[in-house]
Structure 1
Amino acid sequence: MKALASLALFSVLVVPTLARAQQSPAANNPVKDRPAETFNEIERGLYFLVQGGPSFLVNAPADTGPRPFSSGQAAHVEVGIDIGERLSLGVFVLGTANRAGSDYVGNSGGAASGDFSSIVPGVTMRAHLVGFADNQEVKRTFIYARAGAGFAMFSPKLLLPDSDILVFAGPGVEYYTRLRHFSVGLEVTGSYLISSGTVGFALMPNLKYAF
């Protein structure tokens, strides 16, 4: 009887303990949902930008003869980096092609006349001044100001042999689309060629991709 009593007591004390020890790891470590992956509503950082549109020179560069109003086209390619939400710095190459009549002789002294083009490498800075939030409280629309400078080289060389320094500035509006890497914008730019005193302006739609 004493042995039976001892066996019963052993069963009461030990068996539940063994049962708890043999519970599956899944019971001790319940499966949790994988954390949801989140994305930035707007990507900022290294970017690539293209823009182009009509451009105009109020007084085409020339040392003799007429300095006519000249219309043309401009194309601009830029690589840069966003520094936070408000500031961007970049390097660019700008190409222009302008119309001019046969009476325009530029700096050639009459040896050449007519249309001309330019290539301008340079640096630029953009500052977002005011941002507007959408209905999800995400600032997608910004009014900005951009300024920059570049080294203008003209073609044909016989018509405009001397290079010049181009400075420019102007306002624009940029909208960050729901395709979070892309933004689109429209910019009005005023320009000035320092040596020749040439004044110009351009209307430039643009497309930007941020990595």
Structure 2
Amino acid sequence: MKKPLLAAVLAMLPTTALAGTPPEGVPLEVRRGFFTEADIGTFFTLGGENIYSNAQTYLQLGVGYDLTDKISMGVHFGLGASAANCFAGYMPGTNVCSMSDNFTVAFADVTAAYMVPLADRLYLMPKVAAGLSRLDPAPVGSGDPGAALTAPNAGLGIGIEYATPMDHFSVGADFLARYLIGPNIPTFAFFPRVKYTF
């Protein structure tokens, strides 16, 4: 009685083994859809009494969705700092900034990118960004020198992305210029990107 059951189980094993997609000979498709990314790079500002700020570390985290093979939308949260650049002007007769010349800049932006294929799995990505930024402490204004300032921002960027042979993972690099509307401060960030698509 056990022999016919054993024979039936053994007869089904080859069918089960063949049900999966064979790993060899199948081209690896670039994944598109919901993704997350983590980026770390360099940030600086232009303008002010010192022309430009010292380069500082920039950190960005994001989530998004590839709407098509060419259009991607996302929400990104970035954090950088402007160091040693005075935007409020010096106090009369001194080289002391009338407000803070060192401040953090936090971004919460919606981004959109268009993927232009350059080669197999390699894309050029023009981008636009818009959202809110928080400057702490405020580098300009007439309020409390220790208070933070919230201002809208808008920007343009260019990036490159490569979908690696490791399924789910893409790597790349972006250069993003954003203008803080109100404080009138241009900011720039350059960062490598690591993207995981589910």
The aligned counterpart of 1:132 is 119
1:155 to 115, 136, 149: 136
Return the alpha-carbon distance in structure 2 between the equivalents of residues 208 and 132 of structure 1: 19
Return the alpha-carbon distance in structure 1 between the equivalents of residues 155 and 87 of structure 2: 25
Residue 166 of structure 1 and its aligned partner are, at CA, apart by 1.3
The aligned counterpart of 2:170 is 183
TM norm structure 2: 0.74
TM norm structure 1: 0.70
The residue identity in structure 2 corresponding to 1:47 is F
CA contact (8 A) 2:136 2:149 kept: no
The aligned counterpart of 1:20 is none
Q: From the superposition, tell whether residues 159 and 59 of structure 1 become closer, same or farther in structure 2 (CA, over 3 Å).
A: farther
Structure 2 gaps of 5+ residues are 1-7, 92-96, 139-144
Residue 52 of structure 1 and its aligned partner are, at CA, apart by 2.1
Residue 197 of structure 1 and its aligned partner are, at CA, apart by 2.2
Residue 159 of structure 1 and its aligned partner are, at CA, apart by 5.0
Match of 1:54, SS state, is: strand
Match of 2:39, SS state, is: strand
The aligned counterpart of 1:45 is 33
Give 1:167-178 correspondences, 5 Å limit: 167-178=154-165
The aligned counterpart of 2:3 is none
Give CA-to-partner distance per residue, 1:107-130, whole Å, 9 cap, x none: 998664331102111211111022
The residue identity in structure 1 corresponding to 2:134 is M
1:144 to 100, 109, 125: 125
CA contact (8 A) 1:107 1:160 kept: no
Q: From the superposition, tell whether residues 122 and 196 of structure 1 become closer, same or farther in structure 2 (CA, over 3 Å).
A: same
CA contact (8 A) 1:188 1:203 kept: yes
Return the alpha-carbon distance in structure 2 between the equivalents of residues 73 and 160 of structure 1: 23
**What is the aligned-residue identity percentage?**
24
Is 1:208 paired with 2:195? yes
Residue 97 of structure 1 and its aligned partner are, at CA, apart by 1.5
Give CA-to-partner distance per residue, 1:26-53, whole Å, 9 cap, x none: xxx9x75623426853222110011121
Alignment size in residue pairs: 172
| More off after superposition, 158-167 vs 40-49 | 158-167
Match of 1:84, SS state, is: coil
* CA RMSD between the two structures: 2.9
Q: From the superposition, tell whether residues 82 and 105 of structure 1 become closer, same or farther in structure 2 (CA, over 3 Å).
A: closer
The residue identity in structure 1 corresponding to 2:122 is T
- Higher-Rg structure is 1
